[in-house]
Amino acid sequence: MTVRVGIIGTGVMGADHAITLRDLVPGATVEAVSDVDPSRAASVGVRVVTDPLALIEDSDIDAVLIASSDATHEQFVLACLAAGKPALCEKPLAAEVAGCQRIVAAEADLGRRLLSVGFMRRYDPGYVALKHTLDAGDLGAPLLLHCVHRNVSAPDWFTSDMVITNSASHEIDTTRWLFGDEIAAVTVHEPRRSAALADPVLLVFETVPGVLVDAEVFVNARYGYDVRCELVGERGLASASGPVTADWRDRFAEAYRLELTDWVDGVQAGEARGASAWDGYVASAVARAGVAALGAGRIAVELPAKPALYK
Ligand code: ISE
């Protein structure tokens, strides 16, 4: 069966995903799109549905890709659950931790997973190879992970909180995915301020078994988009790196292709793949602890019990 995808939000990521789905993902078509800006929606070149909730309900749409502004995610994700439609939501799952909790509760009540969250680094060949090396035991037990996450420049609406909630959320998810462990505490350091916002920041995550992860997140690094990490184990080192590019679309093009392919294959198989709503919730909860830690020392992360659906 061909998966007929509806895309909500045709800005930078939605438009990029539309091209990837159309040109590079077997078994998928972009059936319709919706955007607050009708001309931006029309530029994708497929049917435009003005009301995003009508797109979710549309009987010609099998699965929904949500790439609209962060504040709208919760409403659309909940509507997909109510309609029984699989959905891939760009991170964050919801703008606030409470919204993520409502989504997790709604999916747990439904009793089946329909949601995936767009943490694309889980599909990046370099990060996947690093995880294989670690899981194969070649490095011994992990001790430290050093991460670098630099953007050329942040949009003018970016805030200090967003450096953590929007950007560092990738390092939070990478840490949990790579080690399969939760983050127990967060500390955030800030050097001498060179900009109006807290940028760069240096985050330190402590995982439950005691691996230390440091992450430099610098959203106005100017020279390029540069994302990489190095893992230090008891018996060796391994790293994941990639080219320095203009932005994340080039650096992670292959990761996006693999993510969308796996999502579509999962829809065909009746399975939700990739990061779950629970992963989206935890990323937001840890990011919120990071925001609290900015200038306030070490903050412990308290998580509720994981619902059975996600075990
Ligand atoms: C953006 O939303 C992304 O997801 C990028 O991967 C990240 O590098 C950037 O900092 C975020 O703002």
| pLDDT tens for the chain, residues 1 to 311 | 999 999 999 999 999 999 999 999 999 999 999 999 999 999 999 999 999 999 999 999 999 999 999 999 999 999 999 999 999 999 999 999 999 999 999 999 999 999 999 999 999 999 999 999 999 999 999 999 999 999 999 999 999 999 999 999 999 999 999 999 999 999 999 999 877 899 999 999 999 999 999 999 999 999 999 999 999 999 999 999 999 999 999 999 999 999 999 999 999 999 999 999 999 999 999 999 999 999 899 999 999 999 999 99
Ligand 1 site-directed mutation target among 70, 117, 170, 220, most atoms within 8 Å of CB: 170
Residues 148 and 292 in one domain: yes
- Token pair listed for 232: 């230090």
Residues 62 and 132 in one domain: no
169 close to ligand 1 (CB < 6 Angstrom) = no
Q: Pseudo-torsion of CA 186, 192, 198, 203, nearest 10°?
A: -20
5 close to ligand 1 (CB < 6 Angstrom) = no
Give the distance (Å) from ligand 1 centre to CA of residue 166.
Answer: 6
Distance CA 277, CA 108 (A): 10
Ligand 1 site-directed mutation target among 89, 119, 167, 249, most atoms within 8 Å of CB: 167
Helix (H, G, I), strand (E, B) or coil at 302: coil
Residues 195 and 136 in one domain: yes
Helix (H, G, I), strand (E, B) or coil at 140: coil
160 close to ligand 1 (CB < 6 Angstrom) = no
165 close to ligand 1 (CB < 6 Angstrom) = no
User: What's the total number of domains in the chain?
Assistant: 2
Give the distance (Å) from ligand 1 centre to CA of residue 170.
Answer: 8
Q: Are 279 and 117 in contact (CB under 8 A)?
A: yes
Could you tell me the end-to-end alpha-carbon distance of the chain, in angstroms, rounded to an integer? 29
Residues 69 and 205 in one domain: no
Helix (H, G, I), strand (E, B) or coil at 146: strand
Residues 90 and 161 in one domain: no
Tell me whether the omega of the peptide bond preceding residue 200 falls within 30 degrees of 0, making it cis. yes
DSSP 214: E
Domain carrying residue 241: 121-248+282-310
Please report the pLDDT score of residue 215 as a whole number.
Answer: 98
Which residue's CA is the nearest one to ligand 1's atom 9?
Answer: 167
Please identify, by atom number, the ligand 1 atom nearest to the C-alpha of residue 158: 12
Tell me whether the omega of the peptide bond preceding residue 52 falls within 30 degrees of 0, making it cis. no
119 close to ligand 1 (CB < 6 Angstrom) = no
Residues 167 and 289 in one domain: yes
Residues 83 and 232 in one domain: no
Strand order in the sheet with 115-117: 47-48, 28-34, 3-8, 63-66, 87-89, 115-117
> Looking at this protein, which amino acid is placed at residue 38?
P
Residues 44 and 138 in one domain: no
174 close to ligand 1 (CB < 6 Angstrom) = no
Please identify, by atom number, the ligand 1 atom nearest to the C-alpha of residue 227: 8
Which residue's CA is the nearest one to ligand 1's atom 10?
Answer: 167
Q: How far is the CA of 221 from the CAs of 15, 204, 216, in angstroms?
A: 25, 20, 11
Q: What is the CATH number of the domain that holds 162?
A: 3.30.360.10
Beta-bridge partner residues of 145: 213, 231
Residues 113 and 127 in one domain: no
Which residue's CA is the nearest one to ligand 1's atom 12?
Answer: 167
Distance CA 33, CA 50 (A): 8
Q: What is the CATH number of the domain that holds 21?
A: 3.40.50.720
Residues 19 and 105 in one domain: yes
Residues 35 and 16 in one domain: yes
Which residue's CA is the nearest one to ligand 1's atom 7?
Answer: 167
Which residue's CA is the nearest one to ligand 1's atom 6?
Answer: 248
Residues 30 and 174 in one domain: no
